[in-house]
Structure formats: structure tokens, C-alpha cells
Structure 1
Amino acid sequence: MKIGYQIQTYREQHSLSQTQLADKLHISRQSISKWESGLALPTFANVVAISNLFNISIDDLVRGDMSLMNSLTAGNKEPLSRVFKIVVGGLVLGIIMYIILISLHVKVATFSDWTSLPVIVLFIGLLFTINWRQFNRSLSTKTVVLGIILLGLVLVPDIYENVSAALHGAMDEFQAGYNSF
């Protein structure tokens, strides 16, 4: 028996639409549709999630679907996640740029001045390319707390510098006004 038929049967037994099942698995409705129509196979992680959701064994879910069993047992490795590629690629690029800057005797402050605008533009571009609905569904409470702490720690030096500069400027103006009397 094909896994797509099994998924559809269990989904209907639990009175779930394709969209509702997709939301519970944090995937698109189109993925569910492709599985049920036999156009695609779920990943092992999704097979486990489906078996947990419907409280059935993986064996009950995949038994008889030889193409899925072959794909799960063939040792096919999933491609690297996109986040992993971003992190590793960023680290490698950072190390390469560090070596280049050291060899050219460029100071960190100079490099920071050169990259301020490109960093802002790239960050805004990144924000516009993220699927926020799917991203929000994938965040756990622990991830949100760690993200808040990380962002706070990253922003503290800039906040400290800007607030201090503003306070010193205001104090200098007040002192100049006081001395003119």
C-alpha cells in the first residue's frame, strides 16, 4: 500500500484537511497533496512526525510502499539545511575576508566604515526574502528567548555609544549655554 493513501486515510479518519495537517507538520499544503497523489515522498522526519501525530507505528505507515522504504533505507542523505549553509558559508567568508584584510593591513575600523551601508542593505534584503509565516511557526519559546538575549547583547554597544554621545552632546550644549550667562 502506498504511503500517500495511508496519509490520506489517517488524515480523513482524524477529520483533518490537507491544510490543517500541513499546519501541524509545519509544511505546505502542496506537500501533503503531492504525497497523497504519489507525486512526492515525505522525508523520514515527516514520516516520524506523521506517525507521532496519528499515534501509529512507522511500520504501519510505510509497510508496503516499496519506493518509500527504498528511499529511507538506501542511505540517501538529506541535503544540507539552508541555515547550515548560511552559517558555514558566513564563517568561511569571514575567515577569508579576515585573511585578506590582515594581508592588506586594513584596520577593522576602516573595514567597518566600508561595510556599514552594504550590511544594512543586505539585512533589509534578507528580511524581505524570509517566509515569515513559516518562520514564526518554526520558532520554539526557547528559540525566542535566546534570540532576544542575543539581539540585546549585539545591540548594547551601539545603544550605549549612541545614548552616551547624545547625553554628552546635550551636556555640552547645556554647559555652553550656562557659561554664556
Structure 2
Amino acid sequence: MTFGEKLYRLRKERGMSQEALAQELGVSRQAISRWELEEVAPDTGNVLAASRLFGVSTDYLLRDECEQEADTPAVRRAERSLQEWQAAVGKGVLCRVLWLTLFALFHQYRLEQLETGGSPVPIPWLLVPALALAVWTWRLNWRYIQEGGERRALLESDLLAMACAFALPYLLAWVPGGWEILLGLLAAVVCMVKSVKTLRVHYGLPWGKRP
């Protein structure tokens, strides 16, 4: 779509005549007509004025391949960045949920062993996913730190969450029915909310109610 076609469409969407548009831009009606017919091209000043008047970018007005504002390179870059930030936060949340799952499996196994008289030692097959998860966590946090993230805020909430998930079931051993595991996980989730908030705020994603 050419500049003239876009100018015509924007003018019609606003319900403006060529005379009204000419008055807004400080040019003659004939100039508007010639721009829309592609007989001449407007100068830089007029393109900028049209951009401000219609609330669109100059990229949109001047690039024939842009059928709408969303097709401009700046908007596409912003969309890609938003998707990358959302993916980074999503990976962070998934990583922390997997840690809680491992703690839950460990304590479930420990309680079963206590009931059957076995030895409550860590399950060997839990060690492999724990090591893999530790490496993934380190990589995610390293990227966060490299991008200027506040390491202390994230580290404190994560360590507190893991302490709750691991230690509370021991401290609440008097609770019957295995509920101590659930209570430990709930306490850990409360702490992890701060980690998620830290990640979202760092990547410029909304948190809480918008003003």
C-alpha cells in the first residue's frame, strides 16, 4: 500500500475532506490531491506532520509493505521482545514448580519408608532430575543477572521457598495424614510469589492491578 493510499484511507477514517486535511497540514488542497494520486511525494516535514495528526509512525506511512501499523519493524520488534520476556518468566515459573514437585516426591517417599520400616534416604532416581534442574535454574538465573536483574531479591525468596518445602514437613511431623507436605508446599508457594513478581517486574510485565 502506497503513501497516497494510506493517506486517503486515514483521511476517510477520520471523516476529513481534502480541504480539512490541507488546513491541518498547512498545505493546499491540490497538494493533498497530488499526494493521494501519487503524482508527487510530500517532503519530510509534511510526512512528520501527517504522522502526528493521524497517530501513526512514519515507517507505516513510507513503507509500502506495511499494510497496517502492526506491520512496522518497530512494532514487530516490540512483539518479539514481549514474547521473549513472557517466555523467560514462564520458564522461571516452571522451573520453580518442578523444584516443588521434587521436594513433594522426596517427602512422600520418606513418609512411605517410615511407615514400612525402610530407610528414609533420597531416591536415587530423584538425583538425576535434581541435578538437571539445578543446571537449568543456574542458567535461567545467570541470564537474569546478566540482564541487570536484582540477584538478592530473587535469591532470598527462592531460598526461603525451598527451605519451607524441605524443612517444614520435618517440623510438622506431628501433623497426621501427610498434610505436613502440603503445608510445606503452600508456604513455599507463598514465598515463590515474590520470585514471580520479581521476574515480571524485571521484564516489564504487569503485576497486580493497573492504575
Question: Same fold judged by TM-score > 0.5?
Answer: no
TM-score (norm 1): 0.35
Q: Which has the larger radius of gyration?
A: 2
